[in-house]
Amino acid sequence: MKLNELRDNPGATPKRTRVGRGPGSGKGKMGGRGIKGQKSRSGVAIKGYEGGQMPLYQRLPKRGFNKPNAKKYAVVNLGLIQKFIDAGKLDAGSITEGSLVASGVVRRKLDGIRVLAKGDFTAKANIAVTGASKTAVEAVAKAGGALTVATTEAAAE
């Protein structure tokens, strides 16, 4: 098969309706737009407009607060770190944010990496990251390792 032989399945792309092409087409004269009015004209973008009435999205109360400078952490579970240690992609001796990114556990570190306690963790590992849950710190300590929550600059090494 060659590129010029590629075709869609029969009936996959229906023919485009040509509006305003006479009464025999079933979509002639006004082309399915009705009679007069704003929507029958071209160049109309109404979206949330309600004819001068206060639109619904403005009538409903606003809720909550979105912090404009909120930190976004890359999240990784202990189970995944254990999987990478078992596969030999991570050295359990010293795991830093740089080594987590280099091995492919996380794609990018964003504002830092936060470790969560999901999954089984048995390796005696020293982990240095920006953030960690209490249960993750306890799980690593129980396995005989240490999880230190460092500042962003120290973890970047």
Helix or strand holding residue 74 (H, E): strand 74-77
Tokens representing 147 are 């999880």
CA distance 37 to 48: 17
Q: What is the pLDDT of residue 50?
A: 85
Print the domain residue range for 97: 74-155
Q: What is the pLDDT of residue 151?
A: 64
CA distance 144 to 22: 82
Q: What is the pLDDT of residue 141?
A: 93
Average pLDDT, the chain: 90
Higher per-residue pLDDT: 80 or 156: 80
Helix/strand/coil for 18: coil
How many structural domains are present in the chain? 1
Residue 104 in any domain: the answer is: yes
Q: What is the pLDDT of residue 38?
A: 85
Q: Does residue 39 carry a pLDDT above 90?
A: no
Residue 81 in any domain: the answer is: yes
Residue 10 in any domain: the answer is: no
Range with the largest mean pLDDT of 35-39, 116-120, 150-154: 116-120
CA distance 15 to 1: 26
Residue 45 in any domain: the answer is: no
Q: Does residue 27 carry a pLDDT above 80?
A: yes
- The predicted model gives 77-106 an average pLDDT of 91
- The 10 Å Cβ neighbour count of residue 80 is 19
CA distance 80 to 23: 65
Residue 107 in any domain: the answer is: yes
pLDDT band at 72 (very low <50, low <70, confident <90, very high): very high
Residue 6 in any domain: the answer is: no
53 phi and psi angles, rounded to 5 deg: -70, 150
Residue 2 in any domain: the answer is: no
Q: What is the pLDDT of residue 152?
A: 47
Q: What is the pLDDT of residue 13?
A: 93
Q: What is the pLDDT of residue 155?
A: 46
pLDDT band at 49 (very low <50, low <70, confident <90, very high): confident
Q: Does residue 90 carry a pLDDT above 60?
A: yes
Q: Does residue 121 carry a pLDDT above 80?
A: yes
Residue 133 in any domain: the answer is: yes
- The predicted model gives 2-7 an average pLDDT of 96
CATH label of the domain that carries residue 106 = 3.100.10.10
